[in-house]
Amino acid sequence: MPLSISHFPFPISHFPVPSTVSNSTTRASNAWPAAIRALRHRNFRLYFAGQAISTLGSWIQQVALAWLIYRLTGSAALLGVATFAALLPQLLVGPLAGAWIDRHDKRRLLILVQGLLGIQAIGLAVLTALNAIGPTLILCMSALLGVLNAFDTPLRQSLLSRFVGHQDDLPNALALNATLFNSSRFIGPPLAGLLLGFSNEAVCFSLNALSYLGLLLGLLLIRMEPSPRAQGSMSSVFREGLAYITADSTIRLLIISVMMVNLTASSYAVLLPVFAKDIFAGDATTLGWLWGAAGCGSLVAALFLATRQALPGLVSVIMAGAIASTLALLVFAASSQLTLSLLAMAVLGFGISTSNVGTNMLLQSLTPEQLRGRVVSFYTSTRFGFDAIGGLLAGLLATRFGAPLTLALAGAVLLVYCLWLFPRQRRLGVRIKAS
């Protein structure tokens, strides 16, 4: 793909800064360390606190649901299908959701979606407690969760710029948001393993339902003007966003990188219950530690990215993340020692998060405010949609060839992509610097 310099349809350097940002607020930013500078904004602090509670509950539910599926069926293929059902709506609905989001008040929409997510978790808890859950209902509930997340993720991501109110603080807000997600990913899975040890999956689902109250309260306390709305029909708004993405080679290559990393490296998540039970002869606690190791690596990646301010340097960081993911996949696939596998999971979590979060920081920093909801929705639909496709393929291949060989194949495919990307990443960095 040629990477010749082309002009963005909107000047990159001319981002609107809300007039509500006063000189005193700007001076107050000096009191906050650079690594957490976005927290100086009241609205972002309220969002951050509520999201911390909500994200922890989501990770507890995700691990409990994976364990429930494998406990009931013992099927690696069904693990892949359930993940596919939960993530496919991101790929199919996500781009259209972005156009719909940009035409409405994002904060009100997010409050509505959070409430619906809480109801979904309550339904899952009740069905499990009554022993009325089975493969068909699990797939239906996973698909419903996927549809809601197709709106929830781009809504939260595109609102971050409004919560901080200052374009210079947006990359830090994105990195802190990723830190929050990965902190919960580090804490949530081991906690879920402990909860499953003395309770059951229904308790985990109930805790997730309660956790949505945290973000709902934060959103209700936030004070901000309604977000600007895109004008025109759904189709014209969607076409405008698609034209922006396809016309620029930088945006295209960043989206392709997200596609490849999540198609291959992120497929590990589907197979972790198989490794925990069959390879390491463990239980739900073992699964929690494997998830937690990956979350630890992701947390380190997010903390690292929170300290970075120069955008061109992120290109090399994204490349390094893809290479780290490749090596970790190959090591994990070949290992039968739990200690080495935990280390490989930590490196894999670091690599995937570095690539995904770094790409998100670049995309949102390069995108004009009026197009951000649509660009974020394309990013999230690619990230989670190809995660779904990779998970489905991994589950099906593991049923036939085994989980270790499946992950080794994923690592080999990602290695080929890294070799293709390597000569292009320097030109990409130069172009972003010129922008």
- Alpha carbon 176 to its chain centroid, in Å, reads 13
Structure-token pair, residue 125: 């808890």
Q: How many CA atoms lie within 13 A of 376 on its CB side?
A: 28
Query: What local confidence, expressed as pLDDT, does residue 434 receive?
Result: 53
Letter string b/e over residues 191-210, b meaning 16 or more CB atoms within 10 A of that residue's CB: bbbebbeeeebbbbbbbbbe
Does residue 363 belong to any structural domain of this protein?
yes
Q: How many domains does the chain have?
A: 1
- Evaluate whether residue 380 is within a structural domain: yes
* pLDDT band for position 196 (cuts 50, 70, 90): confident
Say if residue 368 is exposed, middle or buried (CB neighbours under 10 Å; 0-12, 13-18, 19+): middle
CATH number for the domain spanning 225: value is 1.20.1250.20
Q: Provide the whole-model pTM.
A: 0.68
Select the more confidently predicted residue: 322 or 100: 322
Residue 262 lies in a domain: yes
Give the pLDDT confidence score for residue 23 in this predicted structure: 42
pLDDT of residue 54: 92
Q: How many CB atoms lie within 10 A of CB 232?
A: 13
| pLDDT attached to residue 21 | 40
Q: Which residue has the higher pLDDT, 68 or 426?
A: 68
pLDDT of 232 above 80: no
Higher pLDDT, 215 or 71: 215
Q: Which band of pLDDT confidence, cut at 50, 70 and 90, is reported for residue 250? A: confident
Contact status, residue 91 vs residue 384, Cβ threshold 8 Å: yes
Question: Using a CB cutoff of 8 Å and minimum separation of 24, what contacts does 30-34 make?
Answer: 34/172, 34/307, 34/309
Q: How far apart are CA 396 and CA 381, in angstroms?
A: 22
Q: Which residue has the higher pLDDT, 74 or 47?
A: 47
pLDDT at 116 over 90: yes
Number of helices followed by number of strands (H, E) in the chain: 15, 0
The span from the CA of 389 to the CA of 384, in Å, is 9
Is residue 273, in this structure, part of any structural domain at all? yes
Residue 426 has a pLDDT of 66
Q: How far is CA 190 from CA 9, 125, 273, 335, in A?
A: 47, 20, 13, 21
Does residue 1 form part of some domain?
Answer: no
Question: Taking all residues of the chain, what is their mean pLDDT, rounded to a whole number?
Answer: 81
Per residue in 314-329, pLDDT (tens digit) is: 788 888 899 999 999 9
CA dihedral of 254, 259, 264, 267, whole degrees rounded to 10: 120
Burial class (CB in 10 A: 0-12, 13-18, 19+), 229: middle
Q: Please classify residue 68 by burial: count the beta carbons closer than 10 Å to its beta carbon, then call 0-12 exposed, 13-18 middle and 19+ buried.
A: buried
Q: How confident is the model at residue 312 (pLDDT cuts 50, 70, 90)?
A: low
Range of the domain at 376: 37-434
Of 39 and 27, the one with more pLDDT: 39
pLDDT tens per residue, range 146-188: 889 888 888 888 788 888 877 778 888 888 888 888 778 778 8
Helix (H) or strand (E) holding 418: helix 403-434
pLDDT confidence of residue 17: 39
pLDDT at position 310, please? 62
The pLDDT score that the predictor gives to residue 50 is 93
3-class SS of residue 21: coil
Helix (H, G, I), strand (E, B) or coil at 43: helix
- Mean pLDDT lowest among 131-140, 162-171, 345-354: 162-171
Does the pLDDT at position 361 exceed 90? no
Confidence of residue 306 (pLDDT cuts 50, 70, 90): confident
The answer to whether 382 and 281 are in contact (CB under 8 A) is no
Alpha helix locations (H) across 130-169? 135-164
Whether residue 275 is contained in a domain is answered as yes
- 192 neighbors 68 (Cβ within 8 angstroms): no
Q: Is 79 among the domain residues?
A: yes
- Which residue in 405, 173, 189 sits closest to 297, CA to CA? 189
Q: Is residue 378 part of a domain?
A: yes
